[in-house]
Structure 1
Amino acid sequence: MTIKPLIILPDPLLRQVSKPLERVDEPLRKLADDMLETMYDAPGIGLAAIQVGEPLRMLVIDIAKEGEERAPQVFINPEIVHSSDERSVYEEGCLSIPDYYAEVERPASVRVRFLDREGKEQEITADGVMATCLQHEIDHLNGVLFIDHISRLKRDMVVKKFKKLARDRQPSRLVG
């Protein structure tokens, strides 16, 4: 398995809508395994393919707590088919927006239809952290970031900070 580099804000790739997958095959399962390895290394609890530069409708999640056995899940072409009216608030972070956290309000539970790593259609009803994580990662597949759910002022400050960090990472050009 390979740890892949993460795409970091303000990279425009994060705003791209990911393409549905036509089939589940061995190269796709390898990408899922690489994504899980990347997510564990970061460390995080969810990762969308777009975050490793692959604009494909696939995400991985493992919400097992530290000390618990890993419970990796792969979601291919996930779609939310039902959202509850009840809302919940969780403090979210994102591997593509390192070291920034904010409270986000989302539906408390969702039902998601998807293909598993074998290509079989599945449906899951999730609440709590799993519901939040699924919504966060599916947002990524649609070019939406969790900061899009916070106030415009806070979002603008975060984007400005990450644009400055990206500029500072650029090698300076020496004339000589």
Structure 2
Amino acid sequence: MSRRAPRTPLPARPLPMETVGGTHRPITEIGTPVLHHHSADVTEFGTERLARLLADMFFTMHAANGVGLAANQIGLDLRLFVYDCPGDDGTRHIGHVLNPEVRLTGTEEITQPEGCLSVPGAVRHVTRAANATVRGQDWQGRPITVHGTGLFARCLQHETDHTNGTLYVDRLTPEDRAEALRQMDANRATVLAQRATRARLLARQAGADQ
């Protein structure tokens, strides 16, 4: 899930330790087959390969100014996502979930602007549950439960949707979906150029910090 376009090339929030050792990977875009089907469960845990993948996902998410990123958004058919998302109370939520299953709690819904790193440059209003709980596993295979409200709840729903092959534009009316694709066509080149610049600057910053 994306944030609004940054005013500066580098994010105001410091890079979390989860990005250490990570590198930038290209983000897949709407129309790529891996984004449009239910991803495969993660079955191998605690491996060096998985740890590197998570670091790459965190780094790529920050380079794209996102608050969440699923594995199929970098072309991998795996049910997992990472997040670095603010909560309603200002708390910064950072983590990952493998094999997520979402449960919506309560009846309250919120309609707010929403964007996606795989639909670059487009933002449309989407109605989602105000509260959400995701259950899954961490990278070592241990059970975890993550609860969110407001924007964080939206992020958890958006990213779990990705692992099920659903993009936020799939929840729009045909007219809104067409408008999102029009926005993407108009803004995509600018957004990708901004991401490339941020990726270079973040890589330089990460190298200086080591």
TM-score, structure 1 as length reference: 0.83
CA contact (8 A) 1:39 1:45 kept: yes
1:16-68 CA-partner distances (Å, limit 9, x unpaired): 21011113122112111110000011110000000000010000000149xx9
| 1:8 equivalent in structure 2 | 29
Of the three residues 80, 96, 114, the one matched with 1:58 is 80
Cα distance in 2 between the residues matched to 1:10 and 1:161: 16
Cα distance in 1 between the residues matched to 2:108 and 2:91: 31
Give the 5 Å matches for 1:143-158: 143-158=165-180
Report how many aligned residue pairs link the two structures.
Answer: 164
Cα distance in 1 between the residues matched to 2:144 and 2:124: 31
1:129 partner letter:
L
| 1:121 equivalent in structure 2 | 143
Q: Does 1:19 align with 2:40?
A: yes
Cα distance in 1 between the residues matched to 2:134 and 2:65: 24
| Gap regions ≥5 residues in structure 1 | 167-176
| Gap regions ≥5 residues in structure 2 | 1-21, 189-210
Of the three residues 163, 166, 183, the one matched with 1:141 is 163
- Could you say what the CA RMSD is over the residues aligned between the two structures, in angstroms? 2.4
Match of 1:3, SS?
coil
2:136 partner letter:
F
1:79-129 CA-partner distances (Å, limit 9, x unpaired): 013433211122110110011001100111012111123321011221111
Give the 5 Å matches for 1:20-169: 20-26=41-47, 27-64=49-86, 71-159=93-181
Match of 1:28, SS?
helix
1 or 2, which has the higher strand percentage? 1
TM-score, structure 2 as length reference: 0.70
